[in-house]
Structure 1
Amino acid sequence: MRVVHVTDTYAPVLGGKELHVRDLAHEQAALGHDVVVLTATEEEPVDRRTCGEPAAPGTARPRGAHAVRGAGAVRVVRLPDTRSPLARELLAGADVVHAHLSVVSPFAWSAVRQAAAAGVPVLAMVHVVLPASGVVRAAWRGAVAAVGPAVTWGTVSRVAAQALRTVVPGPVHVLPNGIDPGAWAPARPSSVTARPVTVVASGRLAPRKRVLALVAVLDEVRRLVGPDVPLRAVVVGDGPLRPLVEWQVRTRGMSGWVELPGRLTRPQLRDLYARADVFVAPARVESFGLAALEARCAGLPVVALAAAGVSDFVTDGVEGRLAADDAGLARAVADLVSDGVQRRRIAAHNRDVPTVLGWPGVVTRCLALYAVAGTIARRAPVRARPVPARAVRPAGTV
């Protein structure tokens, strides 16, 4: 099967969507499918697992096609827009176009319009919880109507699906992000006991991830457990709010026990998780929560807000704790810090019971949705002519 993934952003941009697209493409190619990633991101990806040799530091390779070496090769094509002859050829020749959308994704929306108008099956996956803004949702309704009934719609969690159903008239399918549990599983439970209880958070230091609220939650945890309990917190990641986070940590007097190491690689994160005790995910508008799933597979109890997409794979009291608000987050983290029996019970469950979101199951569900997309495309009315690429304003723009 020829699968063309279309995404505005891709490696070396790092985020949940970008990592998911990269890993899904690799998994599909390893099964023998002909997989292409079409993206507007210019620089060559640098992950050797799926992207061959990286470009020299400080340089960017030309836009165009790049075939990933090794078994299950993935071809990455980097173009400024989807109206070029190469992009049109790729989209028209696909067995399915798998588009990955955020709130504003003009590159992917253009590909959806072209492929749907040409009768190519399209699976449009939305990787965000659509904002409640009436302007944004009105723009999405217009764009969805413009591409017509030939598109199959999906998203990554029940929370995100609930928002998407307000703008999509037909069914919304849930296809979660996948993971390789073995890549995160600790070799053995940590035997180190004479150390502080370590709380970890990982994500971009940006407003949507609520990192400033996280600092306040950690400060409240310190107050709840008392000064005599050895406690350490590590907030992994980088982003525009880093200076404010650093300032908050200093002004609240938390510098002695809160660390900000910046962005870490996957191996570095796995090593950190092997020496940690609790993972906290403070984001409220979170469509999935890949970092939380990684931590869960590493054996960490996960504390998150019940309204976020994390609740699709964390049940309160089983894989972690779910809270209604920030005060509840602080209480749940403090409970786990103080209650070693509860903490070790949940950690043992997460180590011993595999997640159902491993790649084999997720890829099978993905291929089943491609079959659905093919059926919907065949049943859709044939348009008299393709929709011009400039005819529809990208969803989310005002």
Structure 2
Amino acid sequence: MTRIVHISDCYPPRVGGIETQVHDLAARQARAGHEVHVLTATGAPGAPAGAETVARSVSAPAGGPAGRAGEPGRAGEPGRAGEPGRAGEAQVHRFASRVTFGLPVHPREATLLRRALAEVKPDVVHVHVGVVSPFAYDGARAARALGLPLAMTWHCMLDGVVPLLRVGAALAGWRRSPAALSAVSAVAGRRVAEVMAVPQEEVLVVPNGLDVTAWAPALMSTGGPGGRWAGAPAETPLPPDGPLRVVATQRLAPRKRPVPLVRIINQVHERLGRDNAGQPRVHLTLIGAGPTDRAVHAEISRLGLQDVVEVTGKLPRPEVKARYRDEHVFIAPARLEAFGIAALEARAAGLVVVAGRGTGVSEFVRDGVDGLLTPDGSDGLRDAAADEALADALVRLAAPDGPLRDMLAHNRSTPPAADWADVLAAADALYARAQDLRTVAPGR
């Protein structure tokens, strides 16, 4: 048994890639018999934004509620650490402050994190990092100060900030620290290697995990990655008998590029036109919500795409999977996609995936087999040209003699090579490296 501490700014009930992955990884490690703790700056479920929720709670198993209220400490203090949760569950320590108005930070996080780590005495500290992760970085500094084996995973693309982070890493002494480095994809890992000035092979890959069978369009006949699915649901009519049905599931935030996505669909619509009944030959279902919601609707109105684009708002996972039964293609327009868990879910559901080839989606989508990977910034293209390449891919899939039918048949009968067993093994390798580095350099 290993005593593991995960540190993440964000955690359920917040929704997002890091939140989901940290929760599910912690839950599966606990089920495997490890003692698992999560330290987070996200308040307890049901607490109003800005509430003081520094407390301990115990998380539910993966797929269930995010957690239940635990034994709180005094205001501004952590609850008691080191008490094991129920068998097969992770123990969550929440550090939220009313003075930060719901943001996942705490004004005394450095002190509280160090105190919690000293009390838990973990065998390894696993820090989960985004572009802006003050709580996680404070946790990494606390682990380093206490001389604990430290593993760090970047869940983001560092494009545009590598030079700044290189200077910061050098000044803060991170390049001399015995931390085991990793990222959720090799693409993201290359940027981490640049920041830390280490060879690429020193940045391990700990990919995001997915319960493939939960997203499968039908039951698997042989089971496991690389198996065959027993069948597929009746498919929506393919072009030209019906429109090319495209779906995107994402947070409506600038980084995910929902407004440019509407413009990409407009390009496709202008090129494909309408059928004899006046119906558009392309349709986009945009699933999600976020700060650019109004801008997305405004762009739809400006371009006259009310019958071409449907915005559903945020949907629960079972409803997202149900929606996928009526779709053909999942599109991922984001440039800074370190992994693309939504794209992996769609691929597991049998959809064809279209994305830029310089993103983390390229880790699990093979161009011409599972989907189409288009030229993007990794090829020196600017946004306009890269967006045009995405539009070209959709037009190609909409063609009567295009590859859509064959790709759908493949994806609906063959699961992607993504499994939680691989993720757990990758995490174990990362922890072993963290402990080896700590043994080699105990004084750093």
TM-score for the superposition, normalised by structure 2? 0.79
How far apart are 1:192 and its partner, in Å?
4.7
Q: Which amino acid aligns with 1:106?
A: P
1:336 to 380, 385, 397: 397
How far apart are 1:197 and its partner, in Å?
3.2
Q: Which amino acid aligns with 1:186?
A: P
Change (3 A) 1:340 1:277: farther
How far apart are 1:163 and its partner, in Å?
1.1
Alignment of 1:314-333 (within 5 A): 314-324=365-375, 325-333=386-394
Q: Which amino acid aligns with 2:234?
A: S
* 1:301-327 alpha-carbon deviations (Å, 9 max, x no partner): 000011111111111101100111111
Alignment of 1:270-285 (within 5 A): 270-285=321-336
Q: Which residue of 1 aligns with 2:217?
A: 186
2:407 to 337, 342, 346: 346
Q: Find the aligned partners of 1:114 and 1:172 in 2 and give their Cα distance.
A: 22
Change (3 A) 1:372 1:201: same
1:138 to 162, 167, 173: 167
Secondary structure of the corresponding residue to residue 73 of structure 1: coil
Most deviating of 82-91 and 254-263: 82-91
Q: Which residue of 1 aligns with 2:417?
A: 356
Preserved contact between residue 118 and residue 146 of structure 2 (Cα < 8 Å): no
Q: Which residue of 1 aligns with 2:258?
A: 211
Alignment of 1:12-91 (within 5 A): 12-44=13-45, 49-50=61-62, 52=65, 64=79, 72-79=88-95, 80=106, 81-84=109-112, 86-90=115-119
Q: Which residue of 2 aligns with 1:176?
A: 207
Secondary structure of the corresponding residue to residue 343 of structure 2: helix
How far apart are 1:55 and its partner, in Å?
6.9
Secondary structure of the corresponding residue to residue 83 of structure 1: helix
Q: Which amino acid aligns with 2:362?
A: S
Most deviating of 160-169 and 234-243: 160-169
Q: Find the aligned partners of 1:20 and 1:64 in 2 and give their Cα distance.
A: 24
Q: Which residue of 2 aligns with 1:376?
A: 437
Change (3 A) 1:16 1:220: same
Runs of 4+ in 1 over 6 A off after TM superposition: 53-56, 65-70
Preserved contact between residue 4 and residue 90 of structure 1 (Cα < 8 Å): no
Change (3 A) 1:12 1:147: farther
Change (3 A) 1:337 1:43: farther
Matched, 1:154 2:198: no
Preserved contact between residue 7 and residue 40 of structure 2 (Cα < 8 Å): yes
Change (3 A) 1:69 1:313: same
Aligned pairs, number: 377
Q: Find the aligned partners of 2:122 and 2:60 in 1 and give their Cα distance.
A: 26
2:268 to 216, 221, 239: 221
How far apart are 1:196 and its partner, in Å?
3.9
Q: Which amino acid aligns with 1:16?
A: G
Q: Name stretches of at least 5 consecutive residues in structure 1 with no aligned partner.
A: 57-61, 384-398
Change (3 A) 1:156 1:204: same
1:296 to 324, 338, 347: 347
Q: Which residue of 1 aligns with 2:98?
A: none
Secondary structure of the corresponding residue to residue 407 of structure 2: helix
How far apart are 1:162 and its partner, in Å?
1.4
Preserved contact between residue 5 and residue 37 of structure 2 (Cα < 8 Å): yes
Change (3 A) 1:278 1:45: farther
- Aligned-pair identity in percent equals 39
Change (3 A) 1:136 1:53: closer
Secondary structure of the corresponding residue to residue 126 of structure 2: strand
Preserved contact between residue 215 and residue 248 of structure 1 (Cα < 8 Å): yes
Most deviating of 134-143 and 183-192: 134-143
Give the alignment's Cα RMSD to 1 decimal.
2.6
2:157 to 117, 121, 129: 129
Preserved contact between residue 68 and residue 75 of structure 1 (Cα < 8 Å): yes
Q: Which residue of 2 aligns with 1:103?
A: 131
Q: Which amino acid aligns with 1:99?
A: V
* 1:167-217 alpha-carbon deviations (Å, 9 max, x no partner): 113321111111110111112523254564321001111111111110111
Change (3 A) 1:168 1:135: closer
Q: Which amino acid aligns with 1:78?
A: R
Q: Which residue of 2 aligns with 1:393?
A: none
Change (3 A) 1:230 1:254: same
* 1:281-313 alpha-carbon deviations (Å, 9 max, x no partner): 001111111110110000000000111111111
Most deviating of 119-128 and 292-301: 119-128
Secondary structure of the corresponding residue to residue 165 of structure 1: helix
How far apart are 1:29 and its partner, in Å?
1.0
Alignment of 1:248-267 (within 5 A): 248-267=299-318
Q: Which residue of 2 aligns with 1:389?
A: none
TM-score for the superposition, normalised by structure 1? 0.87
Change (3 A) 1:82 1:44: farther
Q: Name stretches of at least 5 consecutive residues in structure 2 with no aligned partner.
A: 48-58, 70-74, 96-105, 219-230, 376-385
Preserved contact between residue 236 and residue 326 of structure 2 (Cα < 8 Å): no
Preserved contact between residue 224 and residue 331 of structure 1 (Cα < 8 Å): no
Q: Find the aligned partners of 1:258 and 1:68 in 2 and give their Cα distance.
A: 49
Most deviating of 79-88 and 313-322: 79-88
